[in-house]
Structure formats: C-alpha cells, structure tokens
Chain A
Amino acid sequence: MPPFLQVDNLVRYYQGVKAVDGISFAIERGHCFGLLGPNGAGKTTTVEMLEGINEPTGGSILYQGRPLGRRFKDEAGIMFQTTALQDYITVRETLEMFKQMYPRTTPLPELIESCSLAEFLDRDTRKLSGGQRQRLLLAIALVNDPAVIFLDEPTTWLDPQARRNFWELVQGIKKRGKTIVLTTHYMEEAYQLCDEIIIMDHGRIIAQGTPEALLAKHFGDVVVQLPKADFPAGCTQLEALANGDAVEIFSNDVNRTIHQLIELEVSLVGLRIRQRTLEDLFLELTGRELRV
C-alpha cells in the first residue's frame, strides 16, 4: 500500500531562488506531520505545493499513490496562514457557502460543536476576535469532511490562551483519525501535536523523526538555568552559556551540578531545571534562533 502522501525530490524556484531544494518524505495516514523551521525556511512553499496551490518546479507529490487531482481537492481541507473572508456575511452563512462547494460535507451541527462556534454563529465575520476567526477557518477546512487537513501556522497571531484552546481542537480532530499536516515555528506546538516532524532550513530538511526520538538522538542532558546576577563572574569550575538575563549549564548529572553550585556558594533561589526542547535542537543544528 502506497504512503498516504509521498513527496519525492521536491524543488521549487521563486524568481531564480531555490526556495525548496530537493526534499523527500512520506506522511502516514492518521498521523500529524509537522514542518518546522524559521521564517523563510521553505515551509509554506512546501505545504502550498502539497495543497496543490502551487506547482513544483521539479519532483513529485503522490496522494494515495496518484498525482494530486480532482479527488484530492474534494478530500483535502486547507487552513491558510492568512485568509480574508467574505464581508457582511455571518459565520453560519460562510460555512453554508463553503459546504455548497463540495460533494461530501460534514453536518453543520458537528462542525459547530467540534470547532466551538455556537456562541458567535450569527455574528458578522468582520466582528470576530483572532481566536474565533481561527476557529471558523478551521471549521471551513473541515467542511468537506477531509481525509487530510493542512494547517499553515494556525496559531501565529493568537495569545497563549487561545493557542492552547486551538491545540485542543486539533487534538480532537486527530482523535477522529484525520491526517494533519502542520507548519509552525512554535516548537511547543509541534511537540504537543505532531507524531512526526521535519525541520527545514534554507529549503532543505535538516532533521526528521518523532519529536522524542530527535531530542533523544541529539541530547542526553538537561538545562540548569540561573539568573545571570547570581552566577559568579569568571567561574571556571562550571561551563555556562549566557542566554539573555540567565546563564545555562548543560548537565548530564543534575545532582552533581547542584552540588557544585552549593560548593561555589551560588544562590539557588532562582534556579530552574528544564528538559531540552526542539528550540534547543534547532539552535544545535543551525546555530540560529528559530524565529529569526
């Protein structure tokens, strides 16, 4: 049986610049697949080729073993990074308009329930908050009861609370067995939602796997953080890196590190211990901040 979505040697040029440089990967049915990377890494260009919105310059994309075609359009749900909605019509009318465009659709009550639209169903789309708007755009992406859903940086403009609410909606969709393709530059989002990720930079894949496997492969340590003011200047016993107002010690043995800090008479009031994140992984792989 062919993979659900198969990408081979995908290339895309934009005005002479190679935005996507020969990438290959496969997405399994029912998985949430994440494309991560900083702005300009080629995530959106890649996902728009997968969506059938842009033509690749080279390479191939197969949906259930066949080139993208009419069947794919009927079975794909898409939520773009930015989308304007028709003015002067309500949330309900917007959903009804999109429903009429597809042969197979999700019942309206189910959409309203799964995307929590009930409280603003009869509101003009111009009067929605950022979170409400994203929920409506998600509902539009689900209107055709899609087999695969593309979410392109769906929480970029949302506050932390709205972002977490949105993650819950996506987790609900995952539970219903839908395949999800998610682009994001929020590492926590990818960690929470994705079964498998690729990290892109300069149009290429620089790492691929499950978030846990990638972290385990690249890191065996944890991070001990202290306020910069509490750490003795010129200390040579411990190797620490400055990170903003804090210093970070990468430790394979936390007990021993804390013991060393006590011996150095360092105040532990501001001490924090955290696991390595995908953010660290990206920094490790590229030497750059993720949101540059």
Chain B
Amino acid sequence: MSFRRFLAILGARNKEFWRDRAALAWNFIFPIMVIGGFAVAFSGDGPDLYKVGITDAESGQKLHFQATRYIQFIPITDIPAAITKVERHQLDMLVSPSRHQFWINETSPAGYLLERLLKGSDEGFKREAVTGAGIRYVDWLISGILAMNLMFSALFGVGFVIVRYRKNGMLKRLKATPVTAFEFIAAQVVSRMWLLLSVSVLVFICTDLFLDFRMYGSYLDLLIVFALGAICLISLGLLIAARLASEELAGGLLNAISWPMMFLSGVWFSLEGVNPWLQKLAQLFPLTHVINGARAIMIDGAGLMDILPNLITLVVMTAVFLVIGAYTFRWE
C-alpha cells in the first residue's frame, strides 16, 4: 500500500466531486427539502388513532376497556421503556392490569380522553402521571432521511461511478500504473465517506436550526452510527460494482437494492406491527440497522452498548461486502 498513490486518487476524486456543482448542490438540498416538506405536512396532531400499551398481555386477562374500538392496544413487556414512550407521546397511555395501574402524560389531550374511557369501563386503577414533550414525526423521521441519503449517495456515488470508470476505460488506465486495486478502492471509500459524513452533519445542523429536533442521546454516538453505516453502504456499492461494465445493468441492480431498503428499513414508517416475515427480511438490510441505531440514540437516549447488535451487524456486513468486493474486483 502506497500512501502517496492513495492520496493521488483520493485528491482527484474529491476535486471531481466538489467541482461538480450540480451533484454537490443536490446532495445537500435534497435531504433538506424532504425533511422540510415532511415537517410541514405532519405538523398537526397526527392521526386520530390512540395507542395504549398493555402489560401482561400473555396472561389472557382482558379489560372491558380493551373492547373499545379505534384504539390500538400494544403488548408491552418492558415497563420502564414504555413509560419513557408515554413521556415522549409515543404511547398515549400505559395500562398494567395486574398492578391495577395506568400511566398518562399530563400534557397529552389523548391521555386525558383515554383516562376517562378507562375509568368508565374498569374500576380501581391507580393513576401515575408523567410529563415530557412529545416526539414529533419529524424527530422520528430525521434519522431515516439522513440514512436514506447516505444509502443513495453511497450506492450510486460509488457503485455507479466505478462502473462508469470501468466502461470508459479509466480503470484500465489506472491498471497500467503501479496503483493497486486496494489503493484505488480505499481512496473511493475514504473520499465518499468523508463527503457523506460532511453532508449528513451539515444537513442535520441546517434542519435542526428551524425544526429543533429532540435529541436524548450523544451526538458522538450518532456520528459513529452514521460512520459505520456509511462504510457499510459504500462497501455494498463496491460489491455491486466489482465486475459490472454496463451502467444500465448497474443502475437496475442499484435500484433493485435501494428501493426495497427505502421502504422496508423504516425510513418513513415504523415496522412495528407489520408482517413478521417482512420484519425479518428488513434485518438483512444494512439501512435497517443504521436507522434503528440512530433512532434509538436520538429518541430513546440509547448509548452504543444499547445498540450493540446493530453495530456488530453493520461491522460484519461491511467485512463480508468488502472481502467479496475486493476478491471479485476487476479493472476491466
């Protein structure tokens, strides 16, 4: 590995990206537009479906309250986590039939209504009030949008570009120099990684200025999750581009991978409650683990140890993609 050759390719690639003003502007503007648009579109009180967490669901004990229509009852096993969700308006109420206890948020209008309904159908429940500002849809969405932008930029910015370089003979020209495949690939990964993280940080700061996101975890942890996600998705782009010389085929394959990820990795909506088969499928996508990790840090205040399974999965996926990608890489 020659650091000089690596820097030569890295420098040229960075110049190419920064001087392509149209692509550069799009990388920054697109995510800001999406986040801004959703912030405006979902600025109301949200859908009129009430969400109530019920503990001891497996005991079979049913309350009269549970026969009420238009309320979604969600089985709960982790009571402290569910209480946090009530604090953040992610659950409108938490009910424990065995303890004859319920939790509501003092500031939630939905909580007030549900309390009246519960008292009208079942008696003897002890009231526990919590407080906390609600999590808006946009607070939940920001991780998904940033991760989605990461995915498109990594897959198309690396995968598609390498296929183009191969098709137009630039890779063949580099093959004729002492540059090794590893030096070339490493330069592509670092160049795109640096760019992706800069864009993500800038988009986050810009949108935070006017949307003031809820952030309960550590910014450094969030950056680590995005960095791991960026490397993983760039490696996936490299794997797809390892041998292809047709831009059309590469575009088709990249779309075939990115679109299911965009819809099934929880960018726009939570996968809780969807078909378990789809939930399992989503675990195969790196984007799912980036979003789950980032969302847990931002909304639940999770630390790196709490999202260790996501981080390990991303590291393992990166290693697999890079090893297969480097092994199958062809200059021509």
Q: Tell yes or no: A51 within 8 A of B by CB.
A: yes
Contact B173 A97 (CB under 8 A): no
Question: Using Cβ atoms and an 8 Å threshold, which residues of chain A touch B176?
Answer: 51-53, 73, 76, 78, 80
Pick from B12, B20, B169: contact of A84, CB under 8 Å: B169
How far apart are the CA atoms of A51 and B178 in the complex, in Å?
Answer: 13
How far apart are the CA atoms of A190 and B177 in the complex, in Å?
Answer: 27
How far apart are the CA atoms of A89 and B11 in the complex, in Å?
Answer: 10
How far apart are the CA atoms of A97 and B11 in the complex, in Å?
Answer: 8
Question: Using Cβ atoms and an 8 Å threshold, which residues of chain A touch B15?
Answer: 88-89, 93
Contact B169 A80 (CB under 8 A): yes
Pick from B5, B20, B168, B173: contact of A100, CB under 8 Å: B5
How far apart are the CA atoms of A80 and B331 in the complex, in Å?
Answer: 14
How far apart are the CA atoms of A85 and B179 in the complex, in Å?
Answer: 16
How far apart are the CA atoms of A94 and B13 in the complex, in Å?
Answer: 11
Pick from A86, A103, A140: contact of B12, CB under 8 Å: A86
How far apart are the CA atoms of A100 and B11 in the complex, in Å?
Answer: 11
Q: Tell yes or no: B223 within 8 A of A by CB.
A: no
Q: How many residues of A contact B (CB 8 A)?
A: 27
Q: Tell yes or no: A70 within 8 A of B by CB.
A: yes
- Tell me how far the C-beta of A88 lies from the nearest C-beta in chain B, rounded to whole angstroms: 4
Contact B9 A97 (CB under 8 A): yes
How far apart are the CA atoms of A102 and B177 in the complex, in Å?
Answer: 8
How far apart are the CA atoms of A51 and B331 in the complex, in Å?
Answer: 15
How far apart are the CA atoms of A74 and B177 in the complex, in Å?
Answer: 7
- Tell me how far the C-beta of B230 lies from the nearest C-beta in chain A, rounded to whole angstroms: 22
Q: Tell yes or no: B243 within 8 A of A by CB.
A: no
Pick from B5, B8, B165, B173: contact of A80, CB under 8 Å: B173
- Tell me how far the C-beta of A80 lies from the nearest C-beta in chain B, rounded to whole angstroms: 6
Given contacts A83-B170, A88-B16, A88-B20, A73 and B8 within 8 Å (CB-CB): no
Pick from B5, B19, B169, B332: contact of A101, CB under 8 Å: B5
Query: What 0/1 readout, one digit per residue, does chain B (4-47) give for beta carbons within 8 Å of chain A?
Result: 11011101110110011000000000000000000000000000
Instruction: Give residues of chain A (80-126) contacting chain B, Cβ–Cβ below 8 Å.
Output: 80, 82-89, 93-94, 96-98, 100-103
- Tell me how far the C-beta of B191 lies from the nearest C-beta in chain A, rounded to whole angstroms: 12
How far apart are the CA atoms of A96 and B11 in the complex, in Å?
Answer: 11
Q: Find the B residue at minimum CB distance from A98.
A: B177
Query: What 0/1 readout, one digit per residue, does chain A (59-83) give for beta carbons within 8 Å of chain B?
Result: 0000000000010011010101011
- Tell me how far the C-beta of A225 lies from the nearest C-beta in chain B, rounded to whole angstroms: 41
How far apart are the CA atoms of A86 and B191 in the complex, in Å?
Answer: 15
How far apart are the CA atoms of A210 and B287 in the complex, in Å?
Answer: 64
Given contacts A51-B176, A84-B170, A101 and B16 within 8 Å (CB-CB): no
Pick from B7, B19, B178: contact of A102, CB under 8 Å: B178
Q: Find the A residue at minimum CB distance from B175.
A: A53
Q: Tell yes or no: B172 within 8 A of A by CB.
A: yes
Secondary structure at the A interface, as helix, strand, loop or mixed, is loop
Contact B16 A89 (CB under 8 A): yes
Contact A85 B172 (CB under 8 A): no
Residue of A52, A87, A102, A103 ringed by the most chain B CB atoms within 10 A: A87
Question: Using Cβ atoms and an 8 Å threshold, which residues of chain A touch B16?
Answer: 86-89
Contact B12 A97 (CB under 8 A): yes
Question: Using Cβ atoms and an 8 Å threshold, which residues of chain B touch A52?
Answer: 176
Contact A85 B178 (CB under 8 A): no
Question: Using Cβ atoms and an 8 Å threshold, which residues of chain B touch A98?
Answer: 8, 177
Contact B8 A97 (CB under 8 A): yes
Contact A80 B172 (CB under 8 A): yes
Q: Find the A residue at minimum CB distance from B6.
A: A100
Q: Find the A residue at minimum CB distance from B16.
A: A88
Query: What 0/1 readout, one digit per residue, does chain B (242-280) give for beta carbons within 8 Å of chain A?
Result: 000000000000000000000000000000000000000
How far apart are the CA atoms of A97 and B14 in the complex, in Å?
Answer: 12
- Tell me how far the C-beta of B104 lies from the nearest C-beta in chain A, rounded to whole angstroms: 58
Q: Find the B residue at minimum CB distance from A77.
A: B176
Given contacts A86-B16, A89-B15, A101 and B172 within 8 Å (CB-CB): no
Given contacts A86-B12, A87-B20, A88-B20, A101 and B168 within 8 Å (CB-CB): no
Question: Using Cβ atoms and an 8 Å threshold, which residues of chain A touch B12?
Answer: 86, 89, 93-94, 97
Pick from A70, A82, A83, A101: contact of B8, CB under 8 Å: A101
- Tell me how far the C-beta of B95 lies from the nearest C-beta in chain A, rounded to whole angstroms: 61
- Tell me how far the C-beta of A230 lies from the nearest C-beta in chain B, rounded to whole angstroms: 49
How far apart are the CA atoms of A85 and B288 in the complex, in Å?
Answer: 37
- Tell me how far the C-beta of A23 lies from the nearest C-beta in chain B, rounded to whole angstroms: 22
How far apart are the CA atoms of A89 and B9 in the complex, in Å?
Answer: 12
- Tell me how far the C-beta of B78 lies from the nearest C-beta in chain A, rounded to whole angstroms: 52
Question: Using Cβ atoms and an 8 Å threshold, which residues of chain B touch A74?
Answer: 178
- Tell me how far the C-beta of A125 lies from the nearest C-beta in chain B, rounded to whole angstroms: 10
Instruction: Give residues of chain B (269-310) contacting chain A, Cβ–Cβ below 8 Å.
Output: none
Instruction: Give residues of chain B (179-200) contacting chain A, Cβ–Cβ below 8 Å.
Output: 179
Query: What 0/1 readout, one digit per residue, does chain B (153-178) give for beta carbons within 8 Å of chain A?
Result: 00000000000010011101101111
Contacts from A to B (Cβ < 8 Å): 51-53, 70, 73-74, 76, 78, 80, 82-89, 93-94, 96-98, 100-103, 140
Sampled A-B contacts (5; CB under 8 Å): A52-B176, A84-B168, A88-B20, A93-B15, A97-B12
Given contacts A94-B12, A101-B178, 14 further A-B contacts (CB under 8 A): A53-B175, A53-B332, A76-B176, A78-B173, A80-B172, A86-B16, A86-B170, A87-B20, A88-B15, A89-B19, A96-B8, A100-B8, A101-B179, A102-B178
Contacts from B to A (Cβ < 8 Å): 4-5, 7-9, 11-13, 15-16, 19-20, 165, 168-170, 172-173, 175-179, 332
Closest 7 CB pairs of A and B: A84-B168, A100-B8, A88-B19, A78-B176, A101-B177, A88-B16, A84-B170
